Amino acid sequence: MNTIELWKTVQEDLRVELSAGTFSSFISQTKLEKVEEDEEKISALLAASSSFHQQWIKTNCSQQIKDAFERVTHKSCELQFTLAAPDSKQTLPLSSYGPLFSAADDSRAAYHRSTQAAHLRPDFTFEQFAVSSTNEMAYAAAQAVSRNPGQAYHLLFLFGGVGVGKTHLMQGIGHRILEADPQTKVIYRSAEQFTNEIIEAIQYKTTAEFRKRYRSVKALMLDDIQFIGGKDKVQEEFFHTFNAIHQEGGQIVLTSDQFPSEILGLEARLKSRFEGGLTIDIQQPSFELRAAIVLIKAKAWGIDIPMDVAQLIAGNIESTRFLEGVLKRLLAETQIHGNKITIEVAEKVIKSFKANTSESSNQNQPLTKISPNSVISAVCEVFGIRSAEIKGGRRQKDLVIPRHLAMYILKTEAQLPLVSIGRIFGGRDHSTVIHATDKITAELATNAHLRGALAEVRKRIA
């Protein structure tokens, strides 16, 4: 079989082996560039769409790919990786271009008009969504809903904390539906906007127009549905809207920061409707997912960001919304000062960003009100050591890491002066504190155990 047929066969084998999210985000985006084989072995060159995709595949599923090739070809397989070359643009004779405006152009323009009318963000598409184990079930469900709105699951209810990607996935569904047919009626609103429209409809006696607009849609997507809790008139209207869309075979997608049964002031009949759909909890993004988000957003904004910088940001910034803020500051740094994005520049931006946001604490409260003794006690509890040991002069590895971590928290989050931190730890010089915090900052990018220890310390301080 030729290269195209071979890769297609291998992909079908991998579709069964890998999760839907991994297959869709990585395997389907990879090409089989070249194959060399003899009687006993085969050498396959895979072209990834980006350096991140290449590294992720090599790290996470190269063995599965190798096994799939061996199952299909019955030969031992050697994998090699490269980056896919950008599509070349060939100059064609003027007569070969055809009409100035093609049907494809018209369709694309209609799609853009439809997404604007539906109030969808242009960057909240599936292509710009990073997938990992924390959200792959939600991603797969969103894909299924977008392919068959109203058929796969009449209601998709996504819930989770701030910045886990609920809105992005919801709007990705809208984009995909409108790509297939720009004439489809799709509405995206926040629950607060929906509430305001109901109030205005009552005020100006336009409830008939409001109901006609909402109850005739093919896909209705409401963000932060917990906002309607306790609002009787809004819940009454939404209940009938929900039923009308459901009866016509339409699709409803809702997001919330709470499970349906936990939404205060929500009527029992709406709780029943919500729990009758597909309800998926999206967890906080892992380090790997945060790094992927950084790389995806950077590529979309035209920022050339090295892998080690992306990992540094992901290791120090836990909120996905703050990741975007750090990237914007990095972009400004390069545009204003002409600096290349390096580890040193990124560390400076992260430090500045943390000093001006609540990212330094998972609890949205700075640690400046916490005493140094509380920080040291929390670190000692997590690592199972005594306060006298962490403050002492012994340099064993099992003491150095927690000592450095405590210095890091006191400097970057409690914002104590360097001299004060050095005095706490047996009169150490300020340069020792700087070295310790720099070392922890770098380690957080690659050391999952250290990131977990930091999170546990923060919980105990809070």
Domain assignment present for 93: no
Q: Are residues 411 and 451 in the same domain?
A: yes
The count of structural domains within the chain is 4
pTM of the model: 0.57
Task: Look at residue 359 in the predicted model and tell me its pLDDT.
Answer: 47
CA-wise closest residue to 156 among 282, 241, 268? 282
pLDDT in the model for residue 365 = 40
Residue-level pLDDT at 434: 85
Contacts of 408 (CB under 8 A, 6+ apart): 436, 437, 440, 441
Degrees (nearest 5) of the Cα angle 152, 156, 158?
A: 145
Whether 371 and 442 map to the same domain: the answer is yes
Tokens 């220890």 -> residue: 453
Residue 15 lies in a domain: yes
Q: Is residue 181 part of a domain?
A: yes
CB hemisphere CA count around 225 (13 angstroms): 32
b/e sequence 218-246, b meaning 16+ C-beta within 10 Å:
bbbbbbbbbbbbebeebbebbeebbebbb
| Eight-state DSSP code of residue 264 | T
Contacts for 190-198: CB closer than 8 Å, 24+ residues apart: 190/222, 190/223, 190/224, 190/227, 191/222, 191/223, 191/224, 191/225, 191/226, 191/227, 191/228, 192/224, 192/227, 194/222, 194/228, 194/234, 194/238, 195/227, 195/228, 195/231, 195/234, 198/233, 198/234, 198/237
Residues 258 and 198 in one domain: yes
Domain end: 234, 263, 282, which one? Answer: 282
Assess if residue 266 is contained within a domain.
yes
**Judgement on whether residues 130 and 271 belong to the same structural domain of the protein:** yes
Which CATH number characterizes residue 321's domain?
Answer: 1.10.8.60
CATH assignment of the domain containing 415? 1.10.1750.10
Which tokens belong to 77? 């397989």
Shared domain for 129 and 262, answered yes or no, is: yes
- Give 10-residue mean pLDDT values along the chain (462 residues): 84 74 73 88 86 74 88 89 62 41 64 89 87 84 90 89 88 94 93 91 90 93 92 93 93 92 90 90 82 85 84 82 83 75 85 66 44 87 87 81 90 79 86 85 74 80 68
Q: 439 and 302 in contact (C-beta within 8 Å)?
A: no
Residue 344 inside a domain? The answer is: yes
Residues 61 and 198 in one domain: no
Residues 461, 374: contact at Cβ < 8 Å? yes
Q: Is residue 101 part of a domain?
A: no
Domain end, chosen from 300, 325, 360, is at 360
- Single residue among 33, 48, 83 that ends a domain in this structure: 83
Q: Quick check: is 438 in a domain?
A: yes
260 and 372, same structural domain?
no
Q: Let me know whether 45 and 25 are in one domain.
A: yes
Cα–Cα distance, 328 to 92 (Å, whole number): 39
- Decide: 18 and 57 in contact? Cβ < 8 Å: no
The C-alpha atoms of residue 280 and residue 262 are separated, in whole angstroms, by 14
Q: Taking CA 346 as the corner, what is the angle to CA 446 and CA 303, rounded to the nearest 5 degrees? A: 100
CA–CA separation, 424 and 428 (whole Å): 8
Hey, CA dihedral for 364, 158, 167, 132, is it positive or negative? positive
The residue written with tokens 């560390």 in the block is 347
CATH number at residue 239: 3.40.50.300
Strand order in the sheet with 278-282: 186-190, 219-223, 251-256, 155-160, 278-282
Range of the domain at 427: 367-461
Residues 113, 261, single domain; the answer is yes
In 3D, which of 248, 236, 242, 208 has the Cα closest to residue 222? 242
- Report the CATH number that the domain containing residue 48 is assigned in CATH: 3.30.300.180
What pLDDT is recorded for position 52?
Answer: 62
In a domain, 147, yes or no: yes
Are 182 and 137 contained in the same domain? yes
Task: Note whether 174 and 252 are same-domain residues.
Answer: yes
Phi/psi at 446 (5° precision): -125, -10
For residue 86, what pLDDT is reported? 54
Closest of 209, 278, 214, 279 to residue 245, by C-alpha: 214
